[in-house]
């Protein structure tokens, strides 16, 4: 491999790894805030215990997300200096606000929440965890606004003398139509992930039996299941809107998602396709008639441009070269994203039915599902992210800069390989620590403090530090 291939692998490894923690943090912060609110309003001890229980898991995940996120900035500076120079003026504003406002908000009030249990007024203490949740979502918005500019550049002027894109309309960057639809879709996926994380662990505890576990974790199962189901509907609706915006802004990505080589009207959506070895001829396919037309255009008989026609159009617009992304990768990641998200919702629906039915008989199938459930949205998120980034290729900034032009010209393959091996080993160690900590605290049943509930309206802080 040359330097650019290694740099791309390193970006993929570090970004996908970091993105395992982000959705859990965003989704779980709001759920912990919800449990804290339930405890504040009702004074019931079980909500305090659940807040403590999920608070520990949230903090472990938050810390891992911060640590792994630092590597992103390092690799941009080391491996993608040409890209960093090109987009620096554009990315500077949203990323600075993300660091100074959003991350400052969430980290500051997270500290107040951790150390303020028996020191802050109850309302201010409750407000602190909600501000943490709001901060995580603001942080997501500014980062997604920067990423959306790579998908659909707006609000800039290209300076030929400096070879840089210069910002002239920050409002246009923040209101980029790709960002406006990507943000709710991503946040919905985060809630689906956080809900599945809560549901899987709570369901595991519930199915182990015992009066204490049942009474404590039943509300968490309900909250997790309902969150997953509501989030799944939101993901479906926002994903449908995003598909139409994607067709408008990056039609090649939509064509690649279906491996649609020839323009079709109407176009079907294939659930599963077996193609020839070169990937350009269909051997067998299970197809939903008119499905892709509706997904891409909103009409059942809409016209969807094919890869070959788009390739010709791009050659005329941008010059000679291949503008086709990796078709098998985009085709399968798109479907795996949908599959794992749908499986999460199905398990949540069954779990909710199980709880409502009042059955106490452990189900082996449900126990196994509970163990796998937190992993399903993580897989869906990862495949969705890979589809988003790979489907844009060969562009690193659509229409302006190709990926091959964004790599650092002075960093050799040996240096990139060394840092990639270092980060991979480091991430492996962090993964062992993360899993060990999560398993340790997820298995433990929080003990109910002694004394009447009225005397324990405010917990001590020992569980957090």
In the Cβ-directed half-sphere of 186, how many Cα atoms lie within 13 Å? 27
How much is the pLDDT for 460? 44
Q: What span, in angstroms and rounded, lies between the C-alpha atoms of 254 and 305?
A: 9
% of the chain residues with pLDDT over 90: 40
* DSSP state at residue 323: -
How much is the pLDDT for 454? 45
What sign has the CA pseudo-torsion 363, 365, 366, 372? positive
In the Cβ-directed half-sphere of 7, how many Cα atoms lie within 13 Å? 26
Mean pLDDT of 263-277: 81
pLDDT for 211-253, tens place per residue? 778 788 888 888 999 999 999 999 999 999 999 999 999 999 9
Q: What span, in angstroms and rounded, lies between the C-alpha atoms of 342 and 365?
A: 17
How much is the pLDDT for 196? 94
Mean pLDDT of 91-116: 84
Helix (H, G, I), strand (E, B) or coil at 282: strand
* DSSP state at residue 223: H
Instruction: Tell me the backbone φ, ψ of residue 257, rounded to 5 degrees.
Output: -60, -25
Q: What span, in angstroms and rounded, lies between the C-alpha atoms of 33 and 48?
A: 11
Closest CA to 29 of 115, 148, 113: 113
Q: For residue 410, is pLDDT > 80?
A: yes
Residues 18-45 as b/e (b if ≥16 CB within 10 A, e otherwise) read: bbbbbbbbbbbbbbbbbbbebbbeeeeb
pLDDT for 69-88, tens place per residue? 887 777 877 888 899 888 88
pLDDT for 141-194, tens place per residue? 999 999 999 999 999 998 888 888 888 899 999 999 999 999 999 999 999 999
pLDDT, the chain, mean: 86
Whether omega before 394 lies within 30 degrees of 0, making that bond cis, reads yes
Q: What span, in angstroms and rounded, lies between the C-alpha atoms of 38 and 52?
A: 13
């Amino acid at each position: 491999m040359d330097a650019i291939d290694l740099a791309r692998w390193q970006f993929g490894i570090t970004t996908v790894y970091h993105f395992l923690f982000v959705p859990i943090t965003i989704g779980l912060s709001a759920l912990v805030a919800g449990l804290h609110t339930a405890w504040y309003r009702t004074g019931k001890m079980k909500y305090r215990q659940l807040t403590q229980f999920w608070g520990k898991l949230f903090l472990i995940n938050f810390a891992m997300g911060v640590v792994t996120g630092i590597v992103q900035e390092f690799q941009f500076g080391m491996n993608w200096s040409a890209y960093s120079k090109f987009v620096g003026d554009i990315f500077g504003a949203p990323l600075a606000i993300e660091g100074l406002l959003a991350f400052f908000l969430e980290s500051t009030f997270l500290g107040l929440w951790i150390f303020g249990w028996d020191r802050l007024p109850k309302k201010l203490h409750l407000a602190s965890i909600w501000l943490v949740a709001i901060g995580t979502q603001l942080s997501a918005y500014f980062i997604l606004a920067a990423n959306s500019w790579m998908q659909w550049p707006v609000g800039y002027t290209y300076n030929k003398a400096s070879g840089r894109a210069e910002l002239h309309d920050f409002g246009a960057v923040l209101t980029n139509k790709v960002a406006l639809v990507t943000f709710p879709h991503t946040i919905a996926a985060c809630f689906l992930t956080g809900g599945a994380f809560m549901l899987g662990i709570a369901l595991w505890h519930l199915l182990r039996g015992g009066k204490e576990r049942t009474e404590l974790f039943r509300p968490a199962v309900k909250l997790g299941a309902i969150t997953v189901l509501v989030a799944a509907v939101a993901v479906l609706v926002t994903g449908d809107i995003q598909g139409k915006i994607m067709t408008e802004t990056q039609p090649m990505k939509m064509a690649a998602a279906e491996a649609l080589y020839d323009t079709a009207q109407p176009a079907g959506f294939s659930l599963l396709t077996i193609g020839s070895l070169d990937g350009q001829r269909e051997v067998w396919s299970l197809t939903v008639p008119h499905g892709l037309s509706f997904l891409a255009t909103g009409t059942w008989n809409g016209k969807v441009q094919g890869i070959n026609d788009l390739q010709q159009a791009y050659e005329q617009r941008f010059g000679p070269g291949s503008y086709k992304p990796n078709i098998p990768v985009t085709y399968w990641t798109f479907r795996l994203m949908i599959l794992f998200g749908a499986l999460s919702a199905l398990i949540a629906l069954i779990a909710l039915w199980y709880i409502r039915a009042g059955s106490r008989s452990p189900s082996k199938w449900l126990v196994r599902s509970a163990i796998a459930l937190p992993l399903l949205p993580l897989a869906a998120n990862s495949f969705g992210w890979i589809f988003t980034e790979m489907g844009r290729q060969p562009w690193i900034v659509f229409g302006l800069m190709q990926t091959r032009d964004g790599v650092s010209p002075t960093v050799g393959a040996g240096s990139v390989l060394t840092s990639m091996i270092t980060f991979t080993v480091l991430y492996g160690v962090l993964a062992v620590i993360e899993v060990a900590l999560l398993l340790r605290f997820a298995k433990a049943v929080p003990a109910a403090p002694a004394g009447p509930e009225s005397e324990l309206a405010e917990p001590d802080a020992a569980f957090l530090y």
